[in-house]
Structures are given as structure tokens and as C-alpha cells.
């Protein structure tokens, strides 16, 4: 074996030691997750008491996930969803694949891992890829790396739960107005109402950055196995912004009937579990009063809406005679 080949093995072992130090020192930070929607409606189901408070205060409440009715929402996962003890073998296999690939891999020569991949590729025509030799020389260092990754995952999870989670605030809406389950669960058995709020990108209102919830079978992991492997061989670095987005917008598939969208932000300075955000007169387009709402409640909604949101249209829900659905009559 040439000196270049031996140098590649030693570079891998040396770099793993450097990478361990990097992981141990890496801060956990939030990134700008903003994107802009087209103008469109969203629906907020509310009980009678909450609805009256929204209209009187002209605010909606952004809540801490710790108050959610789903204790798993933004509060589960960030685990390894694969056997991390096998990461060494799979990284070596990936380096071998890249070394023998017909096309030049998209790795950077400025990246230490990229240099290792490119060195393996340079040696491949004359030496092949002696997998067991790579495995033998890198094994001890990789064993330490796996321990550090496990510790980093635990610290990351704890930091999220103890530091980031208490400061997160979320405003949840639905893309559907006529969901009978939502009327029952969140509008107190059809006695409350539904507010029709609009995303207004021209006004840059908060709903213009809403995003849909992704309904999944399992909690979001602390990056996938493929993401870790691609990071280690410098194909693609870990994207913390993407992890935050997946985690903040993921929810168990059993909640899929809600068709939820949400706006969220981290690092709230408030001492409680809520932040009140003002409603712009232009973003509340309509209010739908439930089919079982009391006359007193309906009249109070009309009075408050006329005073504070005169441009909002008002409707009363009525049960359809021949379908499991609602009809809406203008009030």
C-alpha cells in the first residue's frame, strides 16, 4: 500500500478526534424559519368564553406547547431512530461507494471529511478500497465518536425541553371551517364559534408565515441516519433549521382530521404560558356562530363584532336536513 493510502487512514482517525471536539463545543441556536404564503383563509374554533374574550380584547393567544391537549406535540422525539452503533460500518461503506462512484462526488476539498473521501477516491484505481483496513484503523476513534454523539443527543434533547420549549409560542388554526369534530371539540359542542382569519402577505401579518402540520406515525428523530452519514462524509451538512421545522410542525397522525396550520416563534420573554397578539381589523373576515349557540351569546358576538370589527361578515350555522353537514345563514 502506498504512503498516500496510509496517510488517508491516519487522516480519518485524526479528523474524527477533531470532529468530536467540534460536536462538544457546538452551540444550539434557532434560525430564521420565515416563509411567505399567498393570501388565504384559516379558521379558529373557539368556545363561547374564549370567543367573547377574543372579541373584547381584540387579541388572539399564542400558547406554550406545555399547555397543549396533546402532550407529545413538540414534546417528544429528538432521539436516534437507528442503531448508532452501526454508524461506523455505514460511514465506511459510504466512503467506499463514493470512492468507486463513476461521477465525482459533491464533496469539498476544504472540508476535512471531503479530503478523506477524495483521497480514497484518488487511491481507488490502483489500490481499490480495502474496507477492513479502513475499518480497523478508524474503529477506536469512531467508538469514541459514537459516545460523544449519544451525549450530544441527550444534551440537545434536554436543552430543547428545559430551555427552548418554555419559550415557544404557537398559534393553531385549521384549513377547514366545516369540520364537525372540530366544532364539537374546540367550539364546545357547537355552542361557540369559528373565526375566519386571513393570511395577508401584503400586510406581513403573522398568518402569512403559517405552515401546515405534518402528520406522522413516529416522533421526529435527532436527524436521520442518512443525514448523519451524509454529514460525516461531507456530502451535506446537518441542517438545524430543517430539524426545527420538522419538529415544530410534526404531530401524530391520529390528529390528522384537524388539518392544522400553525405560526410559531421561540424565545418568548413572557413569564406565563401565553402571549397575546393583536388582531388586525383587516384579517378577521367572518365569524360563524355555532348551531347550538345561545341567543345571548350570538347577540354578544354581533354587538362586539359591530363595535370592533365592523367589516367582518356574521353567519349562523344551521344543521343540514339531509347531510351530516352545516349550512350558514347571514345574521
Which tens digit of pLDDT belongs to each residue from 20-56? 444 444 444 434 445 567 899 999 999 999 999 999 9
192 pLDDT more than 60: yes
Please check whether residues 143 and 14 belong to one and the same domain. yes
Higher per-residue pLDDT: 320 or 159: 320
- Residue 67 grid cell: 399547555
Confidence check: pLDDT of 133 > 70: yes
118: alpha, beta or left, given left = phi > 0 and alpha = psi -120 to 50? alpha
Q: What are the beta bridge partners of residue 193?
A: 46, 289
Distance between CA atoms of 82 and 66, rounded to whole angstroms?
A: 28
Distance CA(188)–CA(45), nearest Å, equals 9
Structure pTM? 0.83
Confidence of residue 107 (pLDDT cuts 50, 70, 90): confident
Of 102, 135, 166, the residue that ends a domain is 166
Pair (128, 172) in one structural domain: no
pLDDT value, residue 10 = 45
Q: Is 149 found in the same domain as 86?
A: yes
Burial annotation 218-253 (CB, 10 A radius, 16+ → b, else e):
ebbbbbebebbbbbbbbbeeeeeeebbbbbbbbbee
Residue 97: all three cell numbers together: 461507494
Average pLDDT in the chain: 88
Together in a domain, 109 and 128: yes
Tens of pLDDT along 249-299?
Answer: 999 999 999 999 999 998 898 888 999 999 999 999 999 999 999 999 999
The pLDDT assigned to 36 comes to 66
Q: Which domain holds residue 275?
A: 31-74+168-213+249-331
- In angstroms, the CA 101 to CA 174 distance is 47
- Indicate if 62 and 195 belong to the same structural domain: yes
Q: With contact defined as beta carbons under 8 Å apart, do 121 and 99 qualify?
A: yes
Same domain for 115 and 199: no
44 assigned to some structural domain: yes
Within 10 angstroms of residue 317's Cβ, the number of other Cβ atoms is 23
Same domain (yes/no): 176, 275: yes
What is the reported pLDDT for 35?
A: 59
Do residue 114 and residue 203 come from a single domain?
A: no
**Residues 247 and 220 sit within 8 Å (Cβ to Cβ):** yes
When pLDDT is averaged across residues 234-262 and rounded to a whole number, the result is 93
Query: Rounded CA gap, 42 and 285, in Å?
Result: 10
Mean pLDDT in residue range 194-214:
95
pLDDT at 15 > cutoff 60: no
Q: Are residues 162 and 172 in the same domain?
A: no
Specify if 231 maps to a domain. Answer: no
Query: Does any domain span residue 191?
Result: yes
Could you tell me if residue 35 is inside a domain? yes
279: β partners: none
pLDDT above 70: residue 80: yes
Residue 223 lies in a domain: no
Residue 198 confidence (pLDDT) above 80: yes
Is 174 within the bounds of a domain?
Answer: yes
Distance separating alpha carbons of residues 31 and 242, to the nearest angstrom: 9
Domain count, the chain: 2
Residue 227 inside a domain? The answer is no
**162 and 174 belong to one structural domain:** no
Q: Are residues 124 and 257 in the same domain?
A: no
Q: Are residues 87 and 142 in the same domain?
A: yes
Pick the last residue of a domain from 150, 166, 182: 166
Question: Burial of 137 by CB count in 10 Å (0-12 exposed, 13-18 middle, 19+ buried)?
Answer: middle
Residue 22 has a pLDDT of 47
Can you tell me the mean pLDDT for 147-163?
A: 90
Residue range 64-68: average pLDDT?
Answer: 95
> What pLDDT does residue 4 have?
46
Structural domain ending residue among the three candidates 103, 136, 166: 166
Pairwise CA distance, residues 161 & 133, whole Å = 42
Residue 109 within a domain = yes
Residue 109's pLDDT is what? 80
Amino acid at each position: 500500500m502506498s504512503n498516500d493510502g496510509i496517510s488517508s487512514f491516519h487522516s480519518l482517525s485524526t479528523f474524527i478526534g477533531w470532529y468530536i471536539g467540534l460536536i462538544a463545543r457546538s452551540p444550539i441556536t434557532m434560525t430564521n424559519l420565515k416563509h411567505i404564503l399567498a393570501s388565504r383563509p384559516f379558521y379558529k374554533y373557539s368556545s363561547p368564553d374564549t370567543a367573547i374574550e377574543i372579541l373584547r380584547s381584540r387579541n388572539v393567544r399564542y400558547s406554550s406547547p406545555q399547555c397543549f391537549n396533546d402532550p407529545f406535540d413538540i414534546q417528544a422525539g429528538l432521539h436516534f431512530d437507528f442503531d448508532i452503533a452501526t454508524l461506523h460500518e455505514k460511514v465506511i461503506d459510504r466512503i467506499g461507494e463514493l470512492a468507486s462512484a463513476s461521477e465525482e462526488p459533491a464533496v469539498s476539498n476544504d472540508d476535512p471529511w471531503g479530503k478523506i473521501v477524495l483521497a480514497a477516491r484518488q487511491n481507488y484505481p490502483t489500490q481499490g478500497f480495502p474496507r477492513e483496513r479502513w475499518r480497523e484503523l478508524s474503529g477506536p476513534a469512531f467508538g469514541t465518536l459514537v459516545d460523544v454523539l449519544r451525549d450530544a443527543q441527550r444534551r440537545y434533547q434536554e436543552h430543547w425541553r428545559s430551555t427552548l420549549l418554555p419559550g415557544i409560542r404557537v398559534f393553531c388554526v385549521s384549513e377547514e371551517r366545516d369540520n364537525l369534530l372540530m366544532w364539537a371539540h374546540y367550539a364546545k359542542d357547537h355552542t361557540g364559534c369559528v373565526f375566519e382569519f386571513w393570511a395577508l402577505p401584503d400586510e406581513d401579518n403573522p398568518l402569512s408565515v403559517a405552515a401546515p402540520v405534518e402528520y406522522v406515525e413516529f416522533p421526529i428523530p435527532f436527524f436521520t441516519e442518512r443525514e448523519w452519514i451524509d454529514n460525516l462524509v461531507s456530502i451535506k451538512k446537518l441542517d438545524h433549521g430543517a430539524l426545527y421545522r420538522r419538529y415544530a410542525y410534526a404531530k401524530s397522525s391520529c390528529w390528522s382530521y384537524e388539518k392544522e396550520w400553525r405560526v410559531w416563534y421561540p424565545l418568548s420573554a413572557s413569564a406565563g404560558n401565553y402571549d397575546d397578539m393583536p388582531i388586525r381589523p383587516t384579517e378577521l373576515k367572518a365569524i360563524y356562530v355555532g348551531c347550538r349557540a345561545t341567543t345571548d351569546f350570538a347577540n354578544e358576538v354581533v354587538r362586539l363584532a359591530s363595535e370592533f370589527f365592523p367589516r367582518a361578515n356574521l353567519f349562523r350555522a344551521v344543521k343540514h336536513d339531509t347531510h351530516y353537514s352545516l349550512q350558514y345563514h347571514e345574521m
